[in-house]
C-alpha cells in the first residue's frame, strides 16, 4: 500500500494550473478533440471553395484558393426570388422560438407528471413514449398529415410546429432527470401549502435546468433544420422556412453542378446558429450542474 501511495503521491486531482500528472489525459483527449472538430472545419472550408475545388478529385479537405463567390451568388439568387429573403428568416425565427418554448414547457410538465404524480395509466403512457423512440419520422408521415389536414392547420405556423414539437427522447431524458429529485423535497413543499405548479416552477424547474438546456438544443436543431413541414403542410411560399429555401437553391439555379457552391454557403449559414447555441448552452449546462445542488 505504501508503494502504491508513493506512486500516486505527486499526482493532483483537478489542479487549478497545469500539472505534469495531466499529460496522460491530454495525450488521450486532445487527438479525440481534434477528430471531433474535423467536420466543423470541413464545413467552413467547403463554403469558401471555388467550383474547381468543389469537384476536384481526389477531394480536398482544406480550401487552397478561398473565395466569396459562393456567398455572392447566394445573395444574387435570394434577391431575385419572388419572396423576400427576410421573410424566410422571419418564418424560421417564429417557428423555432415558439416551437422550442412549447417543446420545453410541454415535455417538462409531462415528464414531471410521469415521474412524481400518481394516476392510473402512468406506466402505460411512459411505455408508449418509450415505444415512440423506435419510429423514424417517415413511418408516421401519413398519420401526421391526416391529423394536420383534418385540424385545418395547412398553411399555418402551427403546421410547422406541432408535428415536431414533441420529442420522445426529450420526454425520456427529463423524466429520468426528475426521478433523481427526492420525494421528501416535494412533500415538504406540499406541507407548506405549495400547489403542483408552484412545486414544478419553483423547485423542479431550477433543478432540471441542465436537462432543459439539452432539450432546448435538440428542439432547436429539429425545428431550425426541418424542411419536411414546409414540403408537406405548406403550400403558400411566403410561409415556408429558411431551411426549405436553402434546400431548394440548386433547383432555383437550374444547374445542379453550378448550385453546389451556393449549397455549401447555405449549409454554413444554417450551421452557424446551431454552433453558437450549442456553445452558449453548453457553458450554461456546466455552470448549472456545478451550482445546482440540493441542500
pLDDT tens digit at each of 295 positions of the chain: 444 444 444 445 555 676 677 777 778 788 888 888 888 888 888 888 887 888 877 878 888 888 888 888 888 877 777 778 888 889 999 999 999 999 999 999 999 988 888 888 888 888 888 888 887 778 888 888 898 899 888 988 888 888 888 888 888 888 888 888 888 888 888 888 888 888 888 888 888 888 888 888 888 988 898 888 888 898 888 888 888 888 887 665 555 666 777 888 888 888 888 888 888 777 666 554 544 444 4
Predicted confidence at residue 252, as pLDDT, reads 58
Predicted confidence at residue 94, as pLDDT, reads 92
Predicted confidence at residue 72, as pLDDT, reads 83
Predicted confidence at residue 250, as pLDDT, reads 64
pTM for the model: 0.78
* 174 three-class SS: helix
Cell representation of residue 55: 469537384
Alpha carbons 242 and 92: distance in angstroms, whole number = 6
Kindly provide the b/e burial profile for residues 74-113, where b requires at least 16 CB atoms within 10 angstroms of the residue's own CB.
beebbeeeeeebebbeebbeebbebbbebbbeebbbbbbb
Predicted confidence at residue 34, as pLDDT, reads 84
Counting runs of H as helices and runs of E as strands, what totals does the chain give? 17, 0
Choose among 167, 165, 169, 173: nearest CA to 100. Answer: 165
- What the chain holds in terms of domains, given with CATH numbers, is 87-242 (1.10.3720.10)
| HEC-encoded secondary structure of 20-57 | HHHHHHHHHHHHHHHHHHHHHHHHHHHHCCCHHHHCCC
Half-sphere exposure of 118 (CA within 13 A, CB side): 1
Contact 45, 61 (CB under 8 A): yes
Predicted confidence at residue 76, as pLDDT, reads 80
Contact 181, 204 (CB under 8 A): yes
CA distances from 59 to 14, 49, 52, 146, 219 (A): 42, 11, 11, 44, 34
Choose among 191, 193, 197, 216: nearest CA to 109. Answer: 197
Strand extents, DSSP E, the chain: none
User: Which strand (E) or helix (H) includes residue 145?
Assistant: helix 141-150
Alpha carbons 211 and 160: distance in angstroms, whole number = 24
Kindly provide the b/e burial profile for residues 58-70, where b requires at least 16 CB atoms within 10 angstroms of the residue's own CB.
eeeeebeeeeeeb
Amino acid at each position: 500500500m505504501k508503494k502504491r501511495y508513493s506512486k500516486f503521491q505527486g499526482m493532483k486531482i483537478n489542479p487549478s494550473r497545469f500539472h505534469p500528472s495531466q499529460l496522460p489525459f491530454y495525450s488521450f483527449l486532445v487527438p479525440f478533440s481534434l477528430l471531433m472538430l474535423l467536420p466543423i472545419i470541413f464545413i467552413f472550408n467547403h463554403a469558401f471553395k471555388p467550383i474547381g475545388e468543389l469537384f476536384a478529385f481526389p477531394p480536398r479537405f482544406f480550401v487552397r484558393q478561398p473565395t466569396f463567390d459562393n456567398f455572392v451568388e447566394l445573395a444574387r439568387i435570394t434577391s431575385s426570388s419572388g419572396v423576400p429573403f427576410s421573410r424566410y428568416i422571419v418564418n424560421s425565427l417564429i417557428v423555432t422560438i415558439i416551437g422550442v418554448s412549447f417543446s420545453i414547457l410541454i415535455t417538462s410538465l409531462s415528464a414531471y407528471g410521469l415521474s412524481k404524480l400518481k394516476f392510473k395509466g402512468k406506466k402505460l403512457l411512459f411505455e408508449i413514449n418509450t415505444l415512440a423512440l423506435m419510429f423514424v419520422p417517415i413511418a408516421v408521415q401519413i398519420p401526421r398529415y391526416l391529423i394536420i389536414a383534418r385540424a385545418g392547420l395547412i398553411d399555418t405556423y402551427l403546421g410547422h410546429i406541432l408535428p415536431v414539437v414533441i420529442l420522445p427522447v426529450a420526454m425520456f431524458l427529463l423524466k429520468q432527470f426528475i426521478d433523481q429529485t427526492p420525494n421528501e423535497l416535494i412533500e415538504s413543499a406540499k406541507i407548506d401549502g405549495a400547489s403542483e405548479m408552484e412545486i414544478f416552477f419553483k423547485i423542479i424547474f431550477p433543478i432540471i435546468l441542465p436537462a432543459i438546456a439539452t432539450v432546448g438544443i435538440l428542439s432547436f436543431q429539429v425545428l431550425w433544420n426541418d424542411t419536411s413541414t414546409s414540403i408537406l403542410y405548406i403550400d403558400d411560399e411566403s410561409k415556408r422556412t429558411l431551411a426549405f429555401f436553402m434546400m431548394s437553391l440548386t433547383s432555383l439555379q437550374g444547374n445542379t453542378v453550378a448550385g453546389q457552391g451556393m449549397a455549401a454557403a447555405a449549409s454554413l449559414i444554417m450551421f452557424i446558429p446551431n454552433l453558437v447555441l450549442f456553445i452558449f448552452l453548453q457553458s450554461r449546462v456546466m455552470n448549472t450542474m456545478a451550482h445546482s445542488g440540493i441542500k
